Amino acid sequence: MKRRFLIISTLLLAIAFIPVFSYASADAAQIKAYTFSNVRDYVESSAFNVPNTNPIWINFRQWDNSGYNYTITYKVQSAKGYSATVHCSHSSSISNQNGSAQYQQMSGTPVAGSKYLRIEVTSGATYTNGYGELYQN
């Protein structure tokens, strides 16, 4: 009787956790939302929390005012400034104010804790704009 109760309760507990596991694997939680305009060197966000070390995804739109070529690099880093440690980053030269947003995995390994987003125009001398969000599972 005691054994049967133990088996059933273990099974029930396991069943109860199924939605939790599936939720965790399917859903990406937003960890940061940003917008910027007229940037030709860089901008930095205030501190935000990176909950864990899973990959960070970026969903973004970016464009410039004059139709020149440029590259924007999005960096999640330990502090503000050029020489801070960059945990993960993503670079893009596209212009997608209209059309579909880009959803890309940032390269590098995230570190949990209080981090900063730095958006830097790494090539080209043009004024850029954009908005987007960072997600993590």
Among 54, 55, 63, 71, binds another protein (CB under 8 A): 71
User: For the chain, where are the alpha helices, taking DSSP H only?
Assistant: 2-26
Candidate ranges 1-9, 13-21, 33-41, 107-115; the one touching another protein (CB under 8 A)? 33-41
The SS3 call for residue 79 is: coil
Least distance between another protein and beta carbon 33 (Å) = 4
DSSP code, position 27: -
Residue 55 contacts another protein per CB under 8 A: no
Question: Is the CB of residue 59 less than 8 Å from the CB of residue 130?
Answer: no
Length of the chain: 137
DSSP code, position 18: H
* Residues in contact with another protein by the rule CB under 8 A: 26-28, 30, 32-36, 38-46, 57, 59, 61, 68-71, 81-83, 91-94, 101-104, 117, 119, 123-125, 131-133, 135
